A and B are shown apart, each in its own frame.
Chain A
């Protein structure tokens, strides 16, 4: 162990790991946010398929949510990271390039997280849609709103209101899941902590620092989510 204090390794001065950890924190946020929004898009499509799709679409969406919620996320990350080369290399060959192609770690990770969280998004959005009171939609049609206007003005805002707590949970899940991308070598918080632990021989210090960073992100975003929830449910009577 080094002779200086336990936390001096994270200084921002020369030789300190502060800047590296800060950059890694931004990377975690970037990959988690990208994954979350990819998942939201997939979830919106999946919820639409489950609510108003025909039978084949519903079966497809049901299969998707069942499979993705039943297999480990790490396996999906491996699939995207290693599997992408199986798909991309022949395409590269076709266009005359030689060598080995695969998705960059960031893209593979964000897509994998998006696909996994998309299954949770689908369920949250679907059940939120069903908790919108039918009378609200009927009222919109009764006052003569076209379907698209009713969707934009009535259905989307109300669905989001009911979905908000669920979306907050998914965000927390996605944030923690982003740590799994460290296995592909993407330098986010956990990977940076591993590197630091290896070169300073202070694994405990570095992994505790990683834990604190995740704790901080999840607390701050959790608090923000709570604020948003309060704001979007202003119109509801609370007991």
Chain B
């Protein structure tokens, strides 16, 4: 193994890290807001909203992300109305097209994770809150949301890691993030295996850090699952 070359490869790939992180972070944050919106729509009992949310999730989850990226980056230019509109300076940038596609994609997956979390809140907890006189927004804010966030966190952590991996597709529309730089380096040097090892190691390191952060959050949000310091604290588990 040629360590000098590995080091040189690392130096060439490292400038792609900020772009990968920026793509992932921006789309995860925007995607989460959109996901919450779609989850609320899906859980509302208003059928046009439910139908819309379901159709959205169905379409975005059953088509490949790369198709969505191409549809936004290449597809939208088919419409002259759009090409001459005020939105065009944004929609012609590969960066914003990638962000848009990643955001819309993660929102579909995220909304299902959030919905699962909300639906997993034990009914007894809600009944207990109602018995205490809570209702409406107060009940949602104090009881449902915190419990749902704890439930949904591991799933959402996975989704964030999937998003970091998905940013690699932005390289197909000319963005020079880690994978884009790696592909360029491979075609320059024909040393695919070494470049793959370095690029793979960078992604693994990023995902490892994210996993640890999620684990830390999970630990902090589930004090009731830890061995109890006092005997009474252990008795707040699932109601039967």
Known A82-B190, A176-B64, A183-B172; contact A72-B71, beta-carbon cutoff 8 A: no
Partner pick for B165 among A72, A86, A172, CB 8 A cutoff: A72
B219 CB-CB contact with A under 8 Å: no
User: Which secondary structure dominates chain B's binding surface?
Assistant: helix
A1 CB-CB contact with B under 8 Å: yes
- Which B181-240 residues sit within 8 Å CB-CB of chain A? 182-183, 186-187, 190-193, 196, 199-200, 203-204, 207-208
Known A72-B165, A204-B79; contact A211-B199, beta-carbon cutoff 8 A: no
Size category of the B interface is 35 or more
B11 CB-CB contact with A under 8 Å: no
B95 CB-CB contact with A under 8 Å: no
Residues of A within 8 A of B203 (CB): 70-72, 75
A194 CB-CB contact with B under 8 Å: yes
B74 CB-CB contact with A under 8 Å: yes
B161 CB-CB contact with A under 8 Å: yes
- Contact in complex: B65, A74 (CB < 8 Å): no
Residues of A within 8 A of B37 (CB): none
A-B contact count (CB 8 A): 123
> Taking the nearest CB of chain B, how far is it from the CB of A23, in angstroms?
18
- Contact in complex: B78, A205 (CB < 8 Å): yes
- Which chain B residue shows the least CB distance to A76? B196
Bound-state CA distance A205–B76 (Å) is 10
A179 CB-CB contact with B under 8 Å: yes
B85 CB-CB contact with A under 8 Å: no
> Taking the nearest CB of chain B, how far is it from the CB of A209, in angstroms?
10
7 A-B residue pairs with CB within 8 Å: A74-B169, A78-B196, A82-B190, A172-B62, A178-B64, A208-B75, A214-B67
> Contact residues of B with A, CB < 8 Å?
59, 62-68, 70-71, 74-79, 161, 165-169, 171-172, 179, 182-183, 186-187, 190-193, 196, 199-200, 203-204, 207-208
> Contact residues of A with B, CB < 8 Å?
1, 66-67, 70-76, 78-79, 82-83, 85-86, 172, 175-180, 182-183, 190, 193-194, 197, 201-205, 207-208, 210-211, 214-215, 218-219, 222
